[in-house]
Amino acid sequence: MGLQQCWKRKKQQILAAENPNVVSVFLSKKHELHTTRSWEFLGLQRNGKNSAWQKGSFGENTIIANIDTGVWPESQSFSDKGYGPVPSKWRGGNVCQINKLPRSKANLCNRKLIGARFFNKAFQAYNGELVPSLQTARDFMGHGTHTLSTAGGNFVRGASVFAVGNGTAKGGSPRARVAAYKVCWSLTDPAGCYGADVLAAIDQAIDDGVDVINLSVGGSYVVTPEGIFTDEVSIGAFHAISRNIVVVASAGNNGPTPGSVVNVAPWVFTIAASTIDRDFSSNLTINNNQQIEGASLFVNLPPNQAFSLILSTDAKLPNATFRDAQLCRRGTLDPAKVKGKIVRCIRDGKIKSVAEGNEALSSGAQGMILGNQKQNGKTTFGEPHVLSTVGTNDDHAGAQSDFFLTATDPIESGATIRMSPARTLFGRKPAPVMASFSSRGPNKIQPSILKPDVTAPGVNILAAYSEFASASTLLTDKRRGFKFNVLQGTSMSCPHVAGIAGLLKTRYPSWSPAAIKSAIMTTDNTNRPIQDAFAKTLATPFAYGSGHVQPDLAIDPGLVYDLGLTDYLNFLCASGYDQQLISALNFNRTFICSGTHRVTDLNYPSITLPNLGLKPVTITRTVTNVGTPSTYTATAQLPGYNITVVPNSLTFSKIGEKKTFKVTVQASRVTKRRTYQFGELRWTDGKHICYIVYLGTHSHGSNPTSVDLQIATYSHYDLLASILGSEEKAKEAVLYSYNRHINGFAAMLEEEEAADIGMFLSNKHKLHTTRSWEFLGLHINGKNSAWQEGIFGENTIIANIDTGVWPESESFGDEGYGPVPSKWRGGNVCQISKLPRSKTNPCNRKLIGARFFNKAFEVYNGELVPSMQTARDFMGHGTHTLSTAGGNFVGGASVFAVGNGTAKGGSPRARVAAYKVCWSLTDPAGCYGADVLAAIDQAIDDGVDVINLSAGGSYVASPEGIFTDEVSIGAFHAISRNILLVASAGNDGPTPGSVVNVAPWVFTIAASTIDRYFSSNLIINDNEVIEGASLFVNLPPNQDFSLILSTDAKLPNATFRDAELCKRGTLDPEKVKGKIVRCIRGGKIKSVGEGNEALSSGAQGMILRNQKRNGKTTFGEPHVLSTVGTNDDHAGAQPDFYLTATDTIKSDTTIRMTPARTLFGRKPAPIMASFSSRGPNKIQPSILKPDVTAPGVNILSAFSEFASASNLPTDNRRGFKFNVMQGTSMSCPHVAGIAGLIKTRHPSWSPAAIKSAIMTTATTLDNTNRPIQDAFAKTLATPFAYGSGHVKPDLAIDPGLVYDLGLTDYLNFLCASGYDQQLISSLNFKTTFICSGTHSVTDLNYPSITLPNLGLKPVTVTRTVTNVGTSSTYAATTQLPGYNITVVPNSLTFNKIGEKKTFKVTVQASSVTKRRTYQFGELRWTDGKHIASPPHMPTFFSNVVEMEMLE
């Protein structure tokens, strides 16, 4: 078909355009193609618990269309192994327009690649008819296979090219179904995609029922008056989004030219390109004295052979121009000059420069150095060149063409060059950096819409490839059969976002394209400004749009800016498009433009105000809540402008709720034309970044003067000023200068600034009684009780780092106390606000100090109001834990008239001090590491003896391990000052390896039950009685109520799972009112929210059933309505959990609840709590964690009278002097209290000795004299749950032997663990510490023995015991099934206190054991009176042996 037949004359175009039924007439344009580490760089992990892959089900059954060069169907990326039937939403049938390869029997389309079509009529109109063998959707170029596999390809191992970049290839939605639409046909011309073909493909994809369209093509960025509706991609995308299909398109490869961005319609998702943290690299060695790192994918020269360099301009043929020779264009180089040498060329293309190498090779060159032009900046990449090639960036470029410059000498022809083999480098910083080729804004067609929208990986992208295409796509390149290849361009970044969109579409199938786009745009989490490809230049939103994509954040964005068809039509009205045209887009229904809409009010996730003068401009946006109920606060910054947001706080109570706000912007002065200013508006719950720099110990000693403190602080300012540029900036950034004992500071910094100085992120830490002390064997009148032996902890000082203290509690009254001990150095600091009309001093001779630390909290959450700037406890947690550790004897303690008895602490005569670091009234993870570290530093300086810290961070192990955790750092400095720090193990059980606070110098406490139970009986249908846990029942005991399962009472818009858990807004009041509702427990240690939903829906009471993970652990909670909890003993496999032999209880069953009562003497006890975090220790496997277990369930202790009983803001029941709580937060202060007794009894003992005394006297038996049970039916607990066992204070006060440790022991342990010697010396009070190399981590003198990765070879460990009792002889006994154990010597005789004896234990397995098999045993030293035992432990990869040492 001739061109004149294909297209109408201009006159006919004009006549057609005047037809009222024609939207537009325009020339079909040529579109350019814009083309595995990248997904890891984006944070996606195949086995990650909370990764977008898991949450988005790997894109399962989302259908992604790729409009490109076709597909190579034989690629493993498109195998259908493991896939089920094609989704029913697919309407494309069995169309598979791909020719089979010779001798191929496989079906080319399958259950993964579910369709393939081609469209080439426009291409043929311009280029002539294709031969029949090319009339296929098969990919002969590689581009389409690469982009489709990046968006939705399978996991494929062993992906590499030229043996570089080896890894697993995968797509963003690796379980998606994919369909290929071939529209690009030229094997050499990237602009070989014609608009008419593209539009036909989009139309077909819409009809086929796809969910996401990836379109890595785009037209010219030249602005046309017709604008949006003379561009095929824009037209097609409009029709796609009207059918709820996301269209993702590349921004173009014409950067860094301003205004070069294409695909700019607001309904198109436009993607820029940037780097990842992987480089393909080779070193150039020049004249044997200079080395430059460059980019390379292919070097096959001998690495030790030097070659002569020639500049291409020195090798040009006489008829070639200087510029053509510089760029090594075809036919420009003289073979006589080039042969056998390395030629230096200048890069010609922006994303592809393989032709330069072809000219060099054909001229006889051995290799090529490819220097960037200025327009390429620092962007270098590996390309599949036809000869050994290294690319260098503009960092090595002078203003002239001779780009290799040293301080004194430009390198010229004749220099010698060696190239090292190409290699893969990971962890490159900074990354991302904007690619120089990535097209830039502003948006010339519609300036009020910011384009591009986001940036994604587009440099050095390794993905599947066509085995027909040559590696370089040069026709002369005979290297074929590549399954994978490396490409670059916005063509490569585009499918990354299409893959992320697929994950969101799977997770939220009802979300609109605009909501998915908003989720990805508004969740950028860039810490330091992204750099541009040019030296010392920061990128702007004209380069990256909203920022770099973050899929793990996009999967849960909280809020979205949504848009529908009507919004886009109103936008077109405001843009001045013809109303008749707009109606044609409205499915030919008349659309009336109201005239009130403005282009700037399109509900887009960015705000762009072109031509802003001095007058204020107000725009409107609406956000939709797609997350949990929350309150968002606005922060805005735009230098030189005043910004007002009304309202500046938005509270959402349910999903789908919408809120509208207005933003007014006014310039403070006139700005120049074409001047651009960038700022941001954030709706946030405060995710700013606080870093901590840790420098070890101070050199000023333990008693610093004020001058010492000042010198330390200014040294911190000086260090930070060297990074930030001035002392003023440093002072402004620093939150805390740890200038007393811990040497370091916390500061607000960007990520790159933090990296420059070796900082780590300030972590968020979670907050982790009357009968419990009796259960532990302590009696106020006991003759030989640890209370009497330890003088009730008299004058030991216990610090509590928590939510503060309620000082008016009787637990902290000072009647009968003498003066404050002289060792207290905290003075009279008491940062507690007085209650109205109160005349007493909140601090006294019992509560001897109170401070608060909130700088880090305020950075993340905004400044607290003055009334909250106090160490007063508004939550109750800190009062509870402090009174458990060191509270007075207080009679009449109870809650809801249950649990009546005497409250007391473990060291009831101790002095106590409160350090408030936890501030949220609702979030248990509201304690920030920088505040925690400041509190520990202050407590050390104040002269405390024991620190209780019922909080801990994440249990995710990091390579930095022990010294990027604030609790670990603080505890190290505490033990170096002879202070024991006791910390909770965490509440993330029963997950293996979830234990936190695992450093060997931290005393880590698990949680278990006691023999008291708060109980209520359920009478079911008058014929069945089940005992449950309850603290509060106020229903008439003889009145029956009808039961309804929460899932039978759910509202129509609630999910089954949310209703099962009685989440907020899930229950129908009409169904629930007046009944008892059955809910499933949602929390591990707290589930009062379920009762709140039941009460607000009109329920009379609630039955709360455990999930499987809760096991048998039930407890009394201060619910807002009558509640009984039942455990998993009464759970069947189905949701109907009340099962008898003959009857399943369902909705409409009748229920009566008996009043809550207190039961004592329960057996067995203790039982491990299901929530208590478990070992093994992921950071240091040779140290058993937790250390011991203590009471942490149903603990009654003092409480804040401000806090509500349930801690719910809606609960008006306040004024409680006591309350019941659970968690390792509660077990932790029990051990702190016991440590206080030992400290009083043995004031000279080290923290390690006190810890050893408690660990080696702990028991692994319950009150039936059987092994401690776990919370799960018929399961015994192991040392990974209880450590050395359950604490026994009466034995710990007189242990006989202890395993002691000092600072030098811990430093040698760090040496053996591979920590840097300079870091270790910094911990040694700045005194050089020499690692001898003879120490083993298993030889740390810890009161347990743990042998990870134990094979068949014998392993010997050494321990030393110190006698702290009377003269005696101890004999060793051991037991460890399946192992032979020898103890030498096996008898130890001691004649005096303080005498030390060393022994060796050799352990050998009698047979090979399975991987991840754990075996536990014990070693006992006993003299007939004392039993000292070090615990047991297993290994991660083979068998781990753990042994308990008992005395």
How many Å apart are CA 253 and CA 376, to the nearest integer? 11
Catalytic residue among 28, 68, 139, 1182: 68
CA atoms of 234 and 247, how far apart (whole Å): 10
Instruction: Give the whole-angstrom CA distance, residue 871 versus residue 869.
Output: 7
Among the options 950, 1016, 1172, 1225, which is catalytic? Answer: 1225
72 and 79 Cβ atoms separated by less than 8 Å: no
343 touches 413 (CB < 8 A): no
Backbone angles phi, psi at 1129, to 5 degrees: -65, -25
Work out the burial of residue 1103: count CB atoms within 10 Å of its CB; fewer than 13 is exposed, 13-18 middle, 19 or more buried.
buried
Phi/psi at 1261 (5° precision)? -110, 155
Query: Catalytic residue among 146, 385, 765, 877, which?
Result: 877
How many angstroms separate the CA atoms of 491 and 502, rounded? 17
> Which residue reads 């209370």 in tokens?
787
Q: Which of 173, 216, 234, 491 is catalytic?
A: 491
For the residues of 459-491, what is the DSSP string, one character each? SSEEEE--SSS-SS--TT------SEEEE-SHH
- What is the residue type of 423? R
279, 324, 802, 1294: the active-site residue: 802
Give me the half-sphere count of Cα atoms (radius 13 Å) on the Cβ side of residue 155: 11
CB 989 within 8 A of CB 1007: no
As given in the structure block, the two tokens for residue 1422 are: 């006993």
Half-sphere exposure of 1141 (CA within 13 A, CB side): 1
Structure tokens at 648: 């500046």
Rounded-to-integer distance, Cα 393 and Cα 389, Å: 13
b/e code 1351-1380 from CB counts within 10 Å (16+ = b): eeeebebebbbbbbbeebebebebebeebe
What are residue 1007's DSSP bridge partners?
Answer: 1190
Q: Is 491 a catalytic residue?
A: yes
Q: Which two tokens stand for residue 321?
A: 């121009």
| Alpha-carbon span 216 to 489, nearest angstrom | 9
Task: Give, in order, the Cα–Cα distances in Å from 272 to each of 268, 488, 711.
Answer: 13, 12, 48
Strand arrangement of the beta sheet that strand 559-560 belongs to? 559-560, 617-625, 658-667, 641-646
SS3 content of the chain, % helix, strand, coil (to 5): 25, 25, 50
User: Bridge partners of 1014?
Assistant: 1158
Is 1225 catalytic? The answer is yes
Helix segments in 454-564, DSSP class H: 490-507, 513-521, 541-544, 551-554
- Compute how many other C-beta atoms are within 10 angstroms of the C-beta atom of residue 925: 15
Is the preceding omega at residue 1229 within 30 degrees of 0, hence cis? Answer: no
Does residue 496 carry a catalytic annotation?
Answer: no
Instruction: Assess whether 1136 carries a catalytic annotation.
Output: no
Tokens representing residue 33 in the block: 């193609």
Q: Is 548 a catalytic residue?
A: no
The reply to whether 668 belongs to the active site is no
d(CA 1286, CA 825): 34
- Cα distance between the two ends of the chain: 98
Residue written as tokens 């050494």? 1358
Which is catalytic among the residues 28, 34, 77, 143? 143
β pairing state of 1387-1390 and 1368-1375: antiparallel
Which residue, among 458, 435, 441, 452, has the nearest Cα to 271 in the 3D structure? 452
User: Annotated catalytic sites, by residue?
Assistant: 68, 143, 491, 802, 877, 1225
